[in-house]
């Protein structure tokens, strides 16, 4: 099951609930700021799975938003920006969902800086920009 | 009828592309955000970078630590290279006090572009020092505000005191093709380092 978000002390939550306070994001992640897989890169690609789409209704609000958003593939950084979360918080939530099989995460291949073929591919892609 | 939901992509969805990234570093107001926005295929997004260091205490004490909010805006954009590859550009302030996020940004990066304003070159030193230390290939790009280079490039190289092996280029952060060429310089430099290794 999902960890239940710690409920915020009423006195500390935003009156209108419309902005993300500096406190709230960490409460969303049940006090954890280390993702389940704490090495998840901010450029890692995130995509909702069939399982995630099915589980959608059962999910807590913050998780639900991510599952909904990631029916279009995007990076962890984009998830953070679009949902106005700190990157660290987005990482935690994405890692939670991925651990449940609700999201596919395509991580970068590290040390590809040694991969000549890949770099040449990026060069060709950039050269095509006019 | 009863097709079981699985941890596979949604019907019709491609598997996610492999992400690659280039870091764009430099002092405040040198043109990093402009450079990202002029070439990104999505409007540049801004988010607050994580604080990765305050983790454990929260669980232990059940209290929020008094000091959790060392945040900084992080601009980024992306370019689809092909179906299976997507290039991310992360613009990060090049000051020492933001060094805590450089590791995350640099890990696995193809290279870095250090953007310099010729009128205040000191701003780029922390980034230059950091990339040298971790061995990330980088190019120093002097942003030509108004298309004018106020100093001779040779003078700038002397003032910057960067290694002769580090490419020093000029570019215009407002010009899409100029930014493209600056990024190409970074990748070609990375490639030359790879060949040499």
Interface of A with B in 60-99 (CB under 8 A): 71, 73, 75, 77-78, 80-82, 84-91
Q: Which long-range contacts (CB under 8 A, 24 or more apart) does B72-75 make?
A: B72/B48, B72/B98, B72/B101, B73/B46, B73/B47, B73/B48, B73/B49, B74/A77, B74/A87, B74/B46, B74/B47, B74/B48, B74/B49, B74/B101, B74/B105, B75/B32, B75/B33, B75/B36, B75/B37, B75/B44, B75/B45, B75/B46
Per-residue pLDDT at A27 = 53
pLDDT-based confidence at residue B46 (cuts at 50, 70, 90): confident
Phi, psi (degrees; rounded to nearest 5) at A96: -60, -50
Question: With contacts defined as CB-CB under 8 Å, which chain B residues touch A111?
Answer: 108
User: Tens of pLDDT along B59-83?
Assistant: 444 454 444 444 567 889 999 999 9
Whether residues B90 and A77 touch (CB distance < 8 A) is answered with yes
- Asked whether residue B138 carries a pLDDT value surpassing 50, the answer given is yes
- Please list every residue in chain B whose beta carbon sits closer than 8 Å to the beta carbon of residue A80: 47-48
For A39-84, what is each residue's pLDDT tens digit? 788 899 999 999 999 998 899 999 999 999 999 999 999 999 999 8
The pLDDT value recorded for residue A10 is: 38
Q: From the CA of A3, how many Å to the nearest CA of chain B? A: 13
Put simply, the answer to whether B50 touches A33 (Cβ < 8 Å) is: yes
Chain A residues in contact with B137 by the CB 8 A cut-off are 113
Q: How confident is the model at residue B39 (pLDDT cuts 50, 70, 90)?
A: very high
Q: pLDDT class for B104, splitting at 50, 70, 90?
A: confident
With CB atoms and an 8 Å threshold, state whether A113 touches B79. Answer: no
């Amino acid at each position: 099951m999902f960890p239940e978000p710690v409920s915020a002390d009423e006195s500390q939550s935003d009156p209108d609930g419309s902005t993300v306070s500096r406190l709230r994001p960490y409460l969303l992640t049940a006090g954890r700021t280390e993702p389940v897989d704490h090495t998840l890169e901010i450029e890692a690609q995130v995509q909702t799975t069939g399982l995630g789409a099915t589980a959608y209704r059962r999910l807590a609000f913050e998780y639900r938003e991510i599952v909904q958003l990631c029916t279009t593939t995007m990076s962890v950084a984009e998830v953070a920006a679009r949902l106005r979360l700190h990157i660290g918080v987005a990482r935690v939530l994405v890692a939670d969902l991925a651990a449940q099989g609700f999201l596919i995460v395509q991580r970068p291949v590290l040390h590809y800086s040694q991969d000549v073929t890949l770099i040449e591919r990026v060069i060709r892609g950039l050269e095509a920009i006019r | 009828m009863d097709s079981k939901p699985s941890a596979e992509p949604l019907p019709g969805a491609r598997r996610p592309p492999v992400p690659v990234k280039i870091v764009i570093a430099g002092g405040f107001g040198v043109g990093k955000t402009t450079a990202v926005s002029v070439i990104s295929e999505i409007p540049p997004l801004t988010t607050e970078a994580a604080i990765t260091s305050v983790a454990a205490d929260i669980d232990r004490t059940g209290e929020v630590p008094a000091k959790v909010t060392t945040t900084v805006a992080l601009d980024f954009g992306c370019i689809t290279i092909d179906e299976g590859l997507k290039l991310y550009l992360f613009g990060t302030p090049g000051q020492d006090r933001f060094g805590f996020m450089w590791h995350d940004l640099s890990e696995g990066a193809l290279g870095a572009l250090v953007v310099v304003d010729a009128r205040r070159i000191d701003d780029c030193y922390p980034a230059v020092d950091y990339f040298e230390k971790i061995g990330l290939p980088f190019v120093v790009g002097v942003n030509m505000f108004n298309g004018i280079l106020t100093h001779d490039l040779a003078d700038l190289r002397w003032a910057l005191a960067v290694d002769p092996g580090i490419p020093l280029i000029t570019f215009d952060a407002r010009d899409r093709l100029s930014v493209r060429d600056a990024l190409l310089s970074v990748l070609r430099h990375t490639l030359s380092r790879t060949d040499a290794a």
